[in-house]
Structure 1
Amino acid sequence: MTKIQISFTLYHKIIASIMLFLGSVCLCYSLGLILLYYQNPIKLYYIYPWVFFYNTEINIFYIWIFFQYILLQIGTLLITWGIRILRGQTIHLPKPFERLVKHDKSEPLPIAPTPTTPTTPTTPTTPTTPTTPTTPTTPTTPTTPTTPTTPTTPTTPNGVLPPVCDLRPIMPPVLNQGETQACTCFATVNCLRFHLLDLGKNAPDNTNMLAPAFLFYNSRAKQYNAVKDPSICCGCKEYSPGKCVCVDTGLMMDFVLDSVSEQNICLSEDFPCREPNITLAAPSTLCYVTALNLFPNVHFSQLDSTYNAKTNNLDVIKNALYNNFPVLICILIKRSFYDSPGVGADGMVPAASASEPTLGGHAMLICGYDDHMQRFIIQNSWSEKWGDKGYCYLQYSFVADINLAGNFVAFYYK
């Protein structure tokens, strides 16, 4: 066997050592920061607070993740090249190949025949006795044709779902949005708390309250960055126990959904409401860090993603309620909703007329239905002193009208 040893110079050894060192530094640095983010992001905040700046046009967090990925790849490449250089100091060449005998393509390659074992002589078989003829079988009587089964009638949703579903006994307490303009955020907060109570991750009272102001600020920041219009922070009309409500509820809803799904939510003690102007100060960076690490990731499903039907699909809403999913609803507030007699102690919302002036939009939470009374059970955010201990009732015809209601959303944790 011939062995040829090729030794590299000291220069190559130094280059390989430097590459291994730099690769190890890059690899340990990027992996360490990524593991620190997943295990204890608060410590990462103290090292790089700018990573958690969310309310910017460019999300710095994604840029930081991409940078760590590039650094990880660079470290891996440097270590791989360094190891290859060090292994190249001694190269063992294989044995020289023996000259192969060439065969004509038309002739088969010489393959040694496998030895065959001699076969033992077979013994003569005895003659078989003739078989007796079989008796003919009696013809089978024809079977009577089966009668065709009648097709089953399709079950209607009301035949499957119970006629009444009421989630009020397991709902979190009614909130009071006061003079803030955050009806969508307050409804979203109680919808999230409903699922957190079910998961055992939130207190049943208001001592461990989620922060609607956190959702409000982030959704407004996203909305402002999208349209570049300062007037979105004050486009309101007077109507409620407070001073005003946002008239752009439908537009606001999209940004609330983006905010809660991307940045989650923190506790109210970390970012409390400041009435009546809920956006006096921005959340601290620590609020964003704790929000991402406090609860599971929030997901949502828009139940009315298509608007080509003349009426909203009430069966989809009922099915969500039956499966313990409260549904967010946005309605247009008519004058009859607020004026006397308006919504009284019985909680019944008077029938709206198209000729009535629209005072704005309002978001609430559907938490039940009653087929006997043909109405949905709604939780409002105007304290327990309003309506039926904070609840009201919307007729099916009101919710089915796309000119009066829409933006049905169900949240869930995953």
Structure 2
Amino acid sequence: MRIGFLGIQCDNPNLGVSALAYAGVNLIHQVTDPAAEFVLFSDNSTDGLKLMSDTLGLGGRPIRAVPFRHKSPRRLLHTFREMESCTFIVDFTGGDSFSDIYGLPRLLKNLLHKEMALRSGAALVLAPQTYGPFTHRSVLPWVRSVVERAELVFSRDEPSLKFLGGLTSRDVILTTDVAVTLPSGPNTELAASRPQRIGFNVSGLLWTGGYTGKNQFDLKVNYQEYCRGVVQGLLDTGHDVHLVSHVVPRDGEQGEGDVAACSALQIDCPGAQLAPSFRNPVEAKSWIAETDVFIGSRMHATIAAFTTGVATIPAAYSRKFAGLFSGMGYDINVDLKALGTQEAVRKTLDYVEKSDTLREGVARGRAVAASRISTFQERIAGMARKLKADRKHAI
């Protein structure tokens, strides 16, 4: 058996994308034949694959990468042939990119990949993810067609479930983000740090105004002023503040990375400290777990905090935050699209003062998350058994 993965990348500089890869691969590893080969349809280095395999303890599981090369028809055909050899393909779409929120070209590329998987004859599984929003209504017939032809469809939040319910009558299974299962290890770097340790994740994407540089996500807040206001407010009240990058560009790259934004913020708020650069999402989660309170605009950074029991304050730029966390019974949220700058700063600082109450909510939410994600594994295991039996019968 060969199992494919779409929409994840294990050594992506965005640790949220690599968190999906680590967690998704690990969940499928746990419920499938250990001899089955894993194929990641994305750019992944040999070192990156080995680091993921070693970190997760995948043992002798064969795993390799087959990238897309859209400008070369010959190589794109090669990728399609590799898809044809898969029994099923699990597609995560980067967690939140089954949408045109990041621009129409990215969505069309993702739809092409899904279409290739469907036409290859492999069973396509749409893994837990966010669906929509779509501002370009012309793509909805293609979106509907993909969803209706998939073998299994999982949603990670209730707004997406509702959206799909209005788009198609097919069965959609509500779960949660697979990254809730990402493992973490011991970390002692912050053990001696006192008083209360606050992790503050700065999104480089929001800091620079999105990919367009012109407030692409229609934030009501001035994001840079919001960050300065929160961090300085925490420092003024005696907190130990660490600026955390969750998108760490490779050497010589900048892109949407958080490192430059954190460094710029530290210049304005010199009492804050820079967190280390993390090699992979497990390292990041292990470090975040040692904070007392975590504030962030990168959703998978906040998931890392939430799933390790840290009082978590999502600073949200899209509906995916509220959809995911409210689905776990956790309604703490600073909506950067609805609140003015000073109001958002005050709300964030108020939440910090109520961190004990937040931790109680986190504990309840983690139990909900564990229950929901087990549904994903159970359905994958059942499908894998059925497909294996069908293949034997056909032979």
TM range (shorter): under 0.3
Q: State the structure with more CA Rg.
A: 1
Report the TM-score, using the length of structure 2 for normalisation.
Answer: 0.22
Greater helix fraction, Structure 1 or Structure 2: 2
